[in-house]
Structure 1
């Protein structure tokens, strides 16, 4: 379920490659340099103008799934980024100033914020305005593009589906010209034939051709299931994923077909690779984490075991350098598979995430989740105990369109 593009991604690309880099390809934060005066409520140590809403949303959602009550000022910083029309923006020239006509809002940042704020609770006004805005920019094919009016793509449509679900909506009932988000997703699904059988494309090319994209496939699987960034494992172990059927599949069938593609992609090495111009192939940690979530959500934790084990053994340095969004993605992967995020290959992901921002109000010392922060004058919070571990998504690199970066698993 990776993300982002536009000016933010372009600026990030100069500074990030591999581990410091494609904040988007590997799920790290794309800010090019540390800011001398960062907001007290912010997670991460780089300028929030490029990815503040995205990384803050993932950090708060990951904390929630791990049973951590975020600092009220962290929640307030996120809600303070909402524009008057209800949307959020990926890029803000000055994140401390109100939105103006020059601010380009986007569906991905808005949907991520909705998922985080809905999980925390007490933010109905903010999430309601955001969802209303998302509905207002739905395309005629039932999907969403990155920016309002842009052509629909798998990743944007999927993250919005997650936001609708988190806000208590039924995505299948959110229609534009009689088309639902699932209609749009199915239009990006490849048939069960050829080496890319079952994959999702980011979006059709100019000739209408669909090209398999692992990033988009991980997003599409979760979206087709009607789930969000913090998806949990399927109730039953579905066994090895297989691509089957002919003709236009149902959303569940498309999710199973997409999972089959992802399972093949990680079968050899346990990870996806990211191919960047002028660079050798390298592991794509962020999309591998997204793949863990997708495989577990569709077919159960056992289906995601191999890429999960690879992340446990290899992702520490990437997460440490990439920041809160990366830690959040690993937390999501742990959550989706029932793995303890406080002992992820010997690493306490929750403690590491907490250390990237303001100290939380409270934290469960072990597994657990609950309804967390309600910001406002009283910052009243009701926290219901429950045993959960944590899950997913983070961030995929794009210069002009997330899916235009071909990934070669």
Structure 2
């Protein structure tokens, strides 16, 4: 994710670490100060507080859990006066000055969660107005206000606009909509990786297939958000890739690419420089959700079963955002997140934050009573970020107008 700074500011560079689980993960240190009671997770929220909170609340709402008022109030209280959200503000009584690094992903995720929960119209309205004000001339958004547009950030904002009742295709800058930006990032069908999406063009304007950007763009072009949508399958084989200017067709092209990407091992992999390729649990969950949203849910069944069998240790280590990703993927596939490989994902998520205000009658009673103490008691280290954000460190570089932070879901992973 890119972080916008003034011309005199410093660049922020994220450092990526690989955990033993084979997934790039935010190895957040334990916070030096007590965490707010309403916050999900026990890891340092500096880089992912708003993101993990938003995903947790959105996942709970999706399965009928009503979060604690303190959790909702914490998220709403993170908003700056101009409507934007930063990853985390430890002192919300202080104004958001140039040192507060607001971004489109935190803002877009917060909008989606708060709009779903209701009762936060003023907060949502201000956030949407800010997002519109920082739209790029190409119709998209980068992580930072004014940063180069990318598929993932643009898709997060599309989800926010849709959640707030806007028509994303009609939100334009210079006559260009976010859909037009996403279409520009789609690889032609006759190219290597045809049908996939690039995160951004390379320095020469070329496009390289990116699994995670593809999952995000499929959902974005369909006008959906982080929760996706379970769409009834149309039947028959996945349609062949067809070059088109129609967002729906190009989304289907991306879905067909994901089917192929998952075919060999039923999961996606992380391809980090200098590291062995390893299973990528978060991006696999994103791909499952994207396929379900594109009406290709049956072709994600093997990947969902793989997640059921293998994602438990990763989710326990990564924390609330990981549990939320799995819940959203399972829900989009019409699977039961309360019996996911023998685990109750909803209860596990609930246990990372304040006890919910209410849970469905059929839910496990422990989900409503365990709270954050249970997560600490069983050794869970809730260090997740930006949909399992991979950021673990920040270095400052003088003399650069804008900085960058890795975007919400392992953005720059390229497929050969």
- TM-score for both structures, normalised by structure 2: 0.84
Matches within 5 A, 1:159-308: 159-246=156-243, 248-308=244-304
Deviation, structure 1 residue 279: 1.8
Structure 1 range deviating more: 397-406 or 184-193:
397-406
Tell me how far apart the structure 1 counterparts of residues 190 and 318 of structure 2 sit (CA, whole Å).
37
Q: 1:113 aligns with which of 93, 110, 113?
A: 110
Q: Secondary structure at the match of 2:145?
A: coil
Q: Which runs of 5+ in 2 are unaligned?
A: 5-10, 364-385, 392-403
Deviation, structure 1 residue 91: 5.0
Q: 1:136 aligns with which of 111, 133, 138?
A: 133
Kindly indicate whether the alpha-carbon contact (under 8 Å) linking 2:104 and 2:153 is maintained by their aligned counterparts in 1: yes
Tell me how far apart the structure 2 counterparts of residues 346 and 122 of structure 1 sit (CA, whole Å).
35
CA distance 1:191–1:397, shift in 2 (3 Å): farther
Kindly indicate whether the alpha-carbon contact (under 8 Å) linking 1:233 and 1:300 is maintained by their aligned counterparts in 2: no
Tell me how far apart the structure 2 counterparts of residues 47 and 95 of structure 1 sit (CA, whole Å).
17
Deviation, structure 1 residue 278: 2.4
Deviation, structure 1 residue 83: 0.4
CA distance 1:181–1:238, shift in 2 (3 Å): farther
Deviation, structure 1 residue 234: 1.5
Q: Secondary structure at the match of 1:356?
A: coil
Q: 2:14 aligns with which of 10, 15, 36?
A: 10
Kindly indicate whether the alpha-carbon contact (under 8 Å) linking 1:273 and 1:407 is maintained by their aligned counterparts in 2: no
1:394 — aligned with what? 387
Deviation, structure 1 residue 96: 7.2
Deviation, structure 1 residue 173: 0.9
2:334 — aligned with what? 338
Q: Secondary structure at the match of 1:10?
A: strand
Deviation, structure 1 residue 280: 1.0
Tell me how far apart the structure 1 counterparts of residues 296 and 245 of structure 2 sit (CA, whole Å).
21
1:64 — aligned with what? 61
Q: 1:318 aligns with which of 314, 320, 330?
A: 314
Tell me how far apart the structure 1 counterparts of residues 204 and 13 of structure 2 sit (CA, whole Å).
26
- The C-alpha deviation readout for 1:202-257, integer Å capped at 9, x for no partner, is 010111001110010000000000001111222333443233223x4310011100
- Residue correspondences, number: 374
1:374 — aligned with what? none
Kindly indicate whether the alpha-carbon contact (under 8 Å) linking 1:188 and 1:200 is maintained by their aligned counterparts in 2: yes
Deviation, structure 1 residue 47: 1.6
Tell me how far apart the structure 2 counterparts of residues 215 and 396 of structure 1 sit (CA, whole Å).
13
Deviation, structure 1 residue 151: 1.1
2:77 — aligned with what? 80
- The C-alpha deviation readout for 1:272-292, integer Å capped at 9, x for no partner, is 000122221100000000000
Kindly indicate whether the alpha-carbon contact (under 8 Å) linking 2:23 and 2:280 is maintained by their aligned counterparts in 1: no
CA distance 1:241–1:275, shift in 2 (3 Å): same
CA distance 1:348–1:35, shift in 2 (3 Å): farther
Q: Supply the RMSD in Å over aligned alpha carbons.
A: 2.3
Deviation, structure 1 residue 19: 3.4
Q: Secondary structure at the match of 1:362?
A: coil
Tell me how far apart the structure 2 counterparts of residues 132 and 150 of structure 1 sit (CA, whole Å).
18
1:351 aligns with 2:354: no
- The C-alpha deviation readout for 1:153-204, integer Å capped at 9, x for no partner, is 1001101000000000000111111111101110000011233010000010
Q: Secondary structure at the match of 1:101?
A: coil
Q: Secondary structure at the match of 1:273?
A: strand
Q: Secondary structure at the match of 1:211?
A: coil
Structure 1 range deviating more: 208-217 or 95-104:
95-104
Tell me how far apart the structure 2 counterparts of residues 91 and 315 of structure 1 sit (CA, whole Å).
27
Tell me how far apart the structure 1 counterparts of residues 124 and 322 of structure 2 sit (CA, whole Å).
24
Tell me how far apart the structure 2 counterparts of residues 208 and 175 of structure 1 sit (CA, whole Å).
23
- TM-score for both structures, normalised by structure 1: 0.86
Kindly indicate whether the alpha-carbon contact (under 8 Å) linking 1:197 and 1:243 is maintained by their aligned counterparts in 2: no
1:148 — aligned with what? 145
2:101 — aligned with what? 104
Q: 1:408 aligns with which of 391, 410, 415?
A: 415
Deviation, structure 1 residue 404: 6.2
Q: Secondary structure at the match of 1:241?
A: coil
